[in-house]
Amino acid sequence: RAKERGRNDFSFYDAEINLEVQRRVQLDARLRVAIEQNTLEVHYQPILDLARSRIIGAEALVRWTDPLLGPVSPAEFIPLAERNGLIHRLAEQVLSTACAQASRWQAIAPVTVAVNVSSAQFHHCEPLQHSIESALARTGLAPQRLVVEVTESLLLGNHKDLHSTLQGLVDMGIGLAIDDFGTGYSALSYLQQFPFSELKIDRSFLKKLDSDSSDRSLLEAILAMAKALSLNVVAEGIESAEQARFLREHGCQCGQGFLYSPAVPAAEFERLLRADMAGLSGWAHGAETPA
Ligand code: C2E
Ligand code: MG
Ligand code: MG
Ligand code: MG
């Protein structure tokens, strides 16, 4: 009987693997088409100055809705694109689109745009610095308005000339952020070793903020450390007014999250930005009610 169950489990497992492989093959093929036809979209999540509840920038986040498969999460297709090499063309499209948008938005307000850069992009024959330089030149966006987000895993990898590549970006005037801070294996010395200007606190630190006091201490420690190293801090995943208040009270300057807005299409971001500049933004609920 056990034997039989074992065999059934095995074939069930087999079928599951099969489905996964099928999905991957399908995604691979469809993603190639989306990139060739340039149908990936870029959405923008507002980043706010928490004290004033005003938009200071946006994070560019790629969005893909396949006509057959429906919407696919970047958490699923970015790792795939890193494995099959499509990441390079994908990144090129996102960077171009984001810089062009941000360049247009400068007429409304001096907002920054943050672009996620995958570790795989540091392995490419086309040096990252060149593709960024050419995107800035093409779109007229000032380097001071661009932030490049990298994750801790990049710092662990064995990337040739990593330090000089990052320093090269900083020398151009581009901001350099460490994304998802605290989720990877992060030696704190990395923060000093590499020329970061910004630290993005992963949303997992905010999740249990209301219930767990050890999480609170951890968050306070990260904020104190960022301050000591003169790093600008952006909190990710702010979902409640309590979280926003805690962050403000502990000196966290900036944040993003569903409390304010999810990532939205460019036209919608522009509408939010205009309303914000006119003092008509809808985030009063995110701010403290004046006493
Ligand atoms: P990330 O860079 O850490 O981006 C933040 C993610 O948190 C986004 O997920 C965003 O939609 C989500 N988020 C923002 N606020 C909240 C909140 O209040 N609550 C919750 N639950 N989530 C929130 P998204 O867009 O699904 O992207 C997932 C990851 O995929 C990104 O994490 C990034 O690592 C990667 N990614 C997205 N776009 C790109 C891209 O253009 N290039 C590369 N290389 N990676 C990208
Ligand atoms: Mg990011
Ligand atoms: Mg992040
Ligand atoms: Mg993340």
Q: How far apart are CA 269 and CA 190, in angstroms?
A: 34
The pLDDT value recorded for residue 77 is 97
Query: Is 263 near ligand 1, meaning CB less than 6 Å away?
Result: yes
- Closest-CA residue to 267 (of 57, 101, 97): 101
Query: Is 116 near ligand 1, meaning CB less than 6 Å away?
Result: yes
The pLDDT value recorded for residue 6 is 57
Query: Is 78 near ligand 1, meaning CB less than 6 Å away?
Result: yes
Q: How far apart are CA 93 and CA 129, in angstroms?
A: 15
pTM beyond 0.90, yes or no: yes
- Mean pLDDT over each residue of the chain, to the nearest integer: 90
Based on its alpha-carbon atoms, the radius of gyration of the chain, rounded to whole angstroms, reads 21
The pLDDT value recorded for residue 4 is 55
How far apart are the CA of 237 and the centre of ligand 4, in A?
9
Closest residue by Cα to atom 37, ligand 1, is 61
pLDDT tens digits for range 9-56: 667 777 778 888 899 999 999 999 999 999 999 999 999 999 999 999
Query: Is 146 near ligand 1, meaning CB less than 6 Å away?
Result: no
Q: Which of 83, 87, 116 is the best mutation target for the ligand 1 pocket, counting ligand atoms within 8 Å of the beta carbon and taking the most? A: 116
The one-letter amino acid at 248: R
DSSP3 helix / strand / coil % (the chain, rounded to 5): 50, 20, 30
The pLDDT value recorded for residue 3 is 53
The pLDDT value recorded for residue 15 is 78
Q: How far apart are CA 59 and CA 31, in angstroms?
A: 22
The pLDDT value recorded for residue 190 is 86
Query: Is 152 near ligand 1, meaning CB less than 6 Å away?
Result: no
- For the chain, 291 residues long, the average pLDDT of each consecutive 10-residue run is 57 79 94 96 98 96 96 97 95 98 98 96 86 97 98 84 93 96 81 94 86 81 93 96 94 96 98 93 56 40
